[in-house]
Chains A and B, each alone.
Chain A
C-alpha cells in the first residue's frame, strides 16, 4: 500500500447553495451523475449514487431473493412491524426441512415466542386494539393512510391514559372515526357503529373524549362529499348528482348550510335535485340511503328552498 499526504479536508457540500459562487439553485443531473450550480456551472458533486436497487429482477422469486429490505414499518402494528419472530418455514439453515420431532419443538417455541412478544400490558392492549382496527378498516373499506392516522390517535390516547377504564373496542372505533373526519373520508358514526357492533352512543362518548383531551381539531365535513355516496345507495342518476352539487354550492355561497348536518343537507339537496330532474324518488328513499330522518330532509329542504328561491 502506498500512502499519500493528507490533503485539505474535503468540504461537505451544502445542498442548498453553491460552494463556489454562493448562489444557486443547485441542479441535479441524474444522467450525468452530477450536481451542479445552475448559476456558475460548477460541478459540486460528481458520481452521485443511484437511489434504486442495483439488481434487476425478472420474476417474483428473483425479487424476493435479492431484496434486502422488508415491508415498511407501520403504526397500526403493536411492534410497528419491527419485531423479530420465528419464521413460519420449517426449514433449517441449509434449506432442508426439519425432522418431525424438531418440527413440534419449533412449533412450541413459536407459540411461546408469540406470547412473549407482548410482555408489557401496553403491548397487549395495542395488539388487541389493532386487530380490531384491522377488522373495522376492512369492513369500512378504508385506505392505509386513514388506518395509520387512527393508529396514531389511539397510541396518543393510550399514552395519555385515556384508555384505562374504557373499552378498547369503543376507543379504537372512536379513533377510527376521528381519523376519518381528519382525512375527510366520508364515514358516519353510524357506519362505524354498524361495523363493530357497538352502540353509537358509546363511540360518540369516546370520540368527544378524544377531541377534548387531545385537542384535536376537525375539518368541517363538506356536504358535497356525501352526495355521491347517498346517490349510489339510492340509485340516482349522474345528472341528479351533478345538479345536487350545484345546489349545494349555491347554498354554501348564501351561507344557508352553516351549522347544519352535512348528511342531511346533502340528502335534501339530492331530493331537490330529484324533483328538478324529474327522477321519482320519495323523501323516504333518499332519507334511508342517507341514514337521516324524513323530517330532517323536509327541514333542510325548506331552508334550501327559501335560500335558492326555487
Chain B
C-alpha cells in the first residue's frame, strides 16, 4: 500500500489554500470579463444607421473594463475600495469603455473609446483592487485579508449570486413520459450560447410521428419538414442522417408520411429506392432539364422527372405559413429562415452554412429518441450530475449584460437615425446612454430580479459568522419550484459523492433543492473548442462529412459540447489517448471525456467530450496497473510546498473527473483496497466529500445523519468573530463573541477554513446529568460564575443611518435638534433629544435606550407640490429624527459622517449592546443538540468532581438516547484528553483520532476511560449516587436571545386601515387574540371579556347612522350639522358603537352596490 489515506489531506488543503474558498465565483466572473463580454459585443458587431442621407455604420471594437471608482456629484472620479463603498452606500463598479468606429461607404473614420456603462465588480476578482494587495496592505486599508470575496457591493450592501443549478446545455436528453395513458417519448435540447438559450423538443407521438417544437412557432412541425427546410432534400439522405438501422427506418415511415401527406410540402418519392422524383416543368424540354439538374440521377423505377430544388423551399414556406401567417410570401420565407438561423440550435451557429450541422444534430436527436423507443437505450437521468451544470456569476451577469447591451444598441440606433441631420464631431458619443447598462446591472444585482420572472437570484451575504459566510459562498440553488414535491430532485444522488455535501441542506420547503458544494469539488471553467478538435484530429477521427454510409452505423459517434464532429472505429483507443494527453497537459485538465456504451448491440456508441464551464469536477488519484500514482513521496513534497495540486494534475497523478467521466471509472474507496487492474482511480480523502459546515463537525460519522444536517444549519447561526475590521463595519446587525476560543477537538477543515482564526464558540466543561429539573426538555443549566467570568458574552451592534435629502423647491432635510417653539410636527419632547450635540447628532459612548433620539433631523412638509403655496397653517417642519428602537439598549459605539453618491450628507451610527447570557438564551453543541438556558446557578451550588472541577453547563441525559449523537460523547472525552495533553484532538470525520485511544489517554491522566467521574452535590456536599459523564464540549451561542424577543403591550399605536392594534414586536404591537382563543371565551360564556378583547381594546368606533334609512350618516363640520345623504339634514341620526372593521365591511359592500342597512332600536 503506497498511499496512506490520512496524508492525502495535504492535496485537498493545497487546493483550497491556493484557489481560495470562493474560487468558483471568481473564476466564473473572471472568465466573463476575459472573453464573455467581448463575445457579446462581437455577436452584435455594430449598428447600421439607415438615414435618408448617407447611411453609415458604427462598428464595435475591443472592450475595456476600468478600475472600480466612484463618480462624485461634482463630476470628479476617485478610485474606491470595498470598505468605502460599504460605508458610503455606493456601488463597487467599474466603467466599461467600447471602441467605436464610424464607417461611411466602407471607409473607416477615427476610432474612439466611449463609456457605455458601469459593471459591478466582484470583490477579489481580477478587476478588484484588493486582489492585487498583499495581506499587510489589506490590513492597512481596513480590509479583512481573509475575506474570500466572490460577492458584489451595490448601494452599500453585499449581494451574492448564489450558484444556480441548471440542465447541461447542448445535450440531447431523452425521456419517457406518460400523457393520458399513452407513453410519449421525448428528446429535449437546451441549446445555449452566451446569455441566450433556446429549447428544442422532439416528441414521438402515440401515432408514431415525430414532431418538433420550435422556440417561436405556435404549432409543432413534422421533423422531416424541418430537415428539408434546412436544405436536405433527398429522403434517403434524411433517413441516413438519423440512422442506418433498418428497424429505426421502419419507425420513421409514419413521420415521412406525415410530411408527405401535407399538401404544401408534397414531393414525390420513388416508392422503391426512396429517392425524390423530380417533375419536369410543362414548358421544359428534357435537355433543359438535364442541364439544370446535372446531379440528378433518374433511378429508373419511375418515369416521371421534373424540376429540382423546390422541396426545401416548400418546407420553408410550410414553416413560414405557421409563424408569419397572413404575411407576404417573401416575408414568410424570411421569417422562417430567421427562425432556422437564429432560433434553432443557436449553439451551432447563426449563419446559413450552419444549417447542415443543424440537420445532422437533429438527425442524431431523432436517432437517440428512436433508440429509446426500441428500448435499446435507457432514458436519461435528469438528476445525474453529469446532466447538470452550476451557473455562477459569469453566465448570470452575461445573461443580463446581453439584454442591457441590446437595449443600449436599440436606443443608440434610434437616436442616431433621429438626429442624423445634426452634424457634429460627437454624434456617436452623444447618442450613448450609459445609464441603460449601469442601471440594469445595478438594479438586478441589488434586487435579485433578473427579468423574465427570475427573482431571488442574488441574496444578501450572510455575515453572522465566518462559517456562515463561507457556506453561503458555496451554496447552490435549484430552479425547481419549492412548492412541488419533486422527490427525485431532492434526493441525494450517487453522483453527488465528492461534489455536493450529503449533510448540508435546509429542512422544510427548500430541502434538497438548496445544496452546498463539497470541499473537494472543483467547478470547471471552459476551454477552447478549436484546440480540442485539433487534438482529436491528431488522435484520429473520421469527420462527419467524410463518413461512408456503412461506417456511420458501425462507428462510434464523437460529440464535443453536444456537436457531432466525427466518428471513430476504435472508441477505447480514442478515450485512452485523450486521457493520456490530458494527463500530459496537452489538453485542459477540466475537459472531460465520457464513453457511452449500451449493453444492446444495436444502440450506437457515443463519446461525449465536454469543455463547458460549470460542471462539477472532483479530484481523484489515478490508479495505473493496480498501483495508485500518488505515493508517500508525492504527498510529502506537497506537504512541504514543493508541489502544488496543479502540479499533481500536470504530472498526471491526479485527475479531475466530472460525473459523466466518472461513469467510466472504477474508484477504490481508499488506499487499503486490494487493487485490481480494473481500478482506474482511488479516492483522495474520505472526509472531503463534506461541505464547509459539515466538515467542521467532529466525529460526524458517529452521529445519526439528520443530526449532522441540523448542526450544519445551526452553525450558521452561532456567534463568533466574523471579521477583524468590525470597527469599520456598517452592517445593519452584527454580533461579536467576546473571548472566542479555538476548538479543543477540531477537524482538519478547522484550520483550512480559517475557523481557528475566526472561531464561533467556546470550550465548556459539560456534565450530563439532571439538575433540579431545570434542564428538562432540552434546557441547559449554566454556571453563573462562569458567566460572570465572561463565558458566552457577546456584543450586539445595530446600525442606524440617516441622510439629508433634497426636495423640490430648494428644500432640504436638516440635521439639528428639533425645537418645540418652531412648529415641528411630531415633536417627541425634550428628554428624548437630551443626548444630541448642537449639530443634531449624538456623541459616541452615550448610553441610550429605546426611544432616545440619536440623529436629530427635520424635513419639509410632505406633499408640497410646486404650484401649491405654503400650507394655510404656516410653514412647519416634520420631525424625522432617528431614535433607538423601542426595547433596545446600548452605548453609541461609533459615528460615521460621510456623503453619498448624490452628494447628500449621510450619517451612520452604530449602537453597541453587551449581551450577558441569561435565562432563555439559546446554545448548541456541534452535534445538533440545542437548548436554552433554564437556570443560572452559582458555582458553589453546582456539582463538582473530586478534583474540584465545576461544570459550565449541565445538559440532560435525555438528550441522547433517541438522537444518538455519539459524536458528542467522543468529543467530550477528546476535549478532556486534549486539555490534559496540551494539543488539540483531531476529530475529522472518518479520519480522526481513535475513540478508544482517547479513552486510554484519559486513563493515563488518571481518569476513567469512559469519561465518567464521581461527583458531589454542591448544595449538600453529598456524593452523587451515580457517576457523571463530564468532559469538554465546544458550545456555540446562537443568535436567538431573549433580549431580542421579549415583548408586551398595554397601550400603543393602531393600524391605519383597520384601527386595530399594530402587529409585531418591532412596531410595539399587541398579541393576537385569535379565533381559537375567542372560542374559549365563548365556551366559558365570558361575554364581557369577549367584548373587552374584541371591541373595547381593539377597533371600537362610533358611527352615525340614519334612523330612517339605516345607512351611514356623517357630521358636516362646516355647517355643524348631522347629515344623511339619503334623508337629508333633518333626518334623525344616532350614534352607534361598532367595530371599525365592520364599518369597513359596510362601506365595501356599498361599493359593490349593496345597501347594508342598520335597523336601530332604542337602548334599554
Interface residues, chain A, with chain B CB atoms under 8 Å away: 1-7, 9, 12, 15-16, 24-34, 38, 46-52, 54, 56, 59-61, 75, 100, 134-135, 138-141, 143-145, 148-149, 152, 182-183, 185-187, 191, 194-198, 225-226, 228-229, 231-233
Contacts and interface: CB of A to CB of B under 8 A. Distances in A.
A126 to B, nearest CB: 15
B456 A60 contact: yes
Contacts of B433: 134-135, 138-139
Contact of B827 (A4, A7, A26, A194): A26
B819 to A, nearest CB: 9
Interface in B418-468: 419, 422, 424, 426-427, 429-430, 432-436, 447-449, 455-456
Given A25-B827, A52-B1067, A186-B74, A139 B1054 contact: no
B829 A1 contact: no
A49 B826 contact: no
Contacts of A60: 447-449, 455-456
Given A49-B1056, A145-B806, A229-B76, A34 B1051 contact: yes
Interface string B793-811: 0000000000001111010
B825 A48 contact: no
Nearest to B1055: A54
Contacts of A5: 1134-1135
Given A3-B1135, A6-B1133, A31-B851, A143 B430 contact: no
B444 to A, nearest CB: 12
Given A26-B827, A197-B427, A50 B1053 contact: yes
B1068 interface: yes
A143 B902 contact: yes
Contacts of B1159: 1
Given A47-B1059, A143-B73, A195-B430, A182 B810 contact: yes
Interface string B1126-1149: 000000011111100000000000
Contacts of A33: 1051-1054, 1068
A3 B1163 contact: yes
Nearest to B1063: A54
B1160 interface: yes
Given A27-B828, A197-B424, A145 B902 contact: yes
Most B-side CB within 10 Å, residue of A34, A50, A183: A50
Interface residues of B, number: 84
B626 interface: no
Contact of B74 (A15, A59, A182, A185): A185
B456 A59 contact: yes
Nearest to B1054: A47
A144 B422 CA distance: 29
Contacts of A38: 820, 829-830
A143 B899 CA distance: 13
Given A2-B1136, A60-B447, A186-B75, 7 more contacts: A4-B1102, A30-B828, A47-B1053, A54-B1062, A152-B808, A226-B74, A229-B72
Nearest to A241: B76
Interface string B1046-1079: 0000011111111100111001100000000000
B866 interface: yes
Contact of B806 (A1, A46, A143, A198): A143
Contact of A3 (B806, B825, B901, B1136): B1136
A32 B1135 contact: no
Given A25-B821, A29-B828, A145 B76 contact: no
Contact of A138 (B77, B419, B435, B1138): B435
Most B-side CB within 10 Å, residue of A33, A75, A198: A33
Contact of A183 (B76, B806, B821, B1135): B806
Given A7-B1135, A38-B829, A232-B78, A1 B1161 contact: yes
A50 B1062 CA distance: 8
A144 B1053 contact: no
B169 to A, nearest CB: 25
A13 B644 CA distance: 79
A56 B456 contact: no
Interface string B851-883: 100000000000000100000010000010000
23 contacts: A2-B1162, A3-B1135, A3-B1160, A9-B1120, A24-B820, A27-B827, A27-B828, A28-B826, A29-B828, A31-B850, A33-B1054, A46-B1051, A49-B1053, A49-B1059, A139-B430, A152-B866, A185-B74, A187-B75, A194-B426, A197-B430, A228-B76, A229-B76, A231-B76
B786 interface: no
B1054 A2 contact: no
Given A139-B434, A143-B902, A50 B1056 contact: yes
A140 B429 CA distance: 13
Contacts of B448: 60
B808 A148 contact: yes
A32 B1052 contact: yes
Contact of A4 (B422, B807, B1163): B1163
A180 to B, nearest CB: 10
Nearest to B71: A141
B1087 to A, nearest CB: 15
A152 B865 CA distance: 11
B1161 A3 contact: yes
A138 B76 contact: no
Contacts of B826: 28
Most B-side CB within 10 Å, residue of A9, A134, A197, A225: A197
Interface string B809-847: 010000000001101011111100000000000000000
Contacts of A100: 218
B966 to A, nearest CB: 37
Contacts of B821: 25
Contacts of A12: 1117
Nearest to B77: A232
Contacts of B1051: 32-34, 46-47
Contact of B75 (A4, A56, A191): A191
A152 B850 CA distance: 42
A308 B419 CA distance: 50
B77 A1 contact: no
Most A-side CB within 10 Å, residue of B427, B447, B828, B1104: B828
A288 to B, nearest CB: 15
Given A15-B825, A141-B71, A54 B1163 contact: no
Nearest to B886: A31
Given A1-B1159, A59-B456, A54 B1058 contact: yes
Contacts of B903: 143, 185
B74 A9 contact: no
B451 to A, nearest CB: 11
A30 B884 CA distance: 13
The 6 A-B residue pairs with the shortest CB-CB distance, nearest first, are A3-B1134, A232-B76, A197-B430, A138-B435, A143-B902, A25-B820
A4 B73 contact: no
Nearest to B1133: A6
A25 B829 CA distance: 8
A3 B808 contact: no
A43 to B, nearest CB: 10
B1107 interface: yes
A183 to B, nearest CB: 7
A183 B810 CA distance: 7
Nearest to A142: B73
Contacts of B1055: 49-50, 54
Nearest to B117: A138
A55 B559 CA distance: 55
A130 to B, nearest CB: 14
B1158 interface: yes
B873 A16 contact: yes
Contacts of B1105: 1, 3
B1115 interface: yes
Contacts of A4: 1102, 1134-1137, 1163
Most B-side CB within 10 Å, residue of A32, A47, A75, A182: A47
B685 interface: no
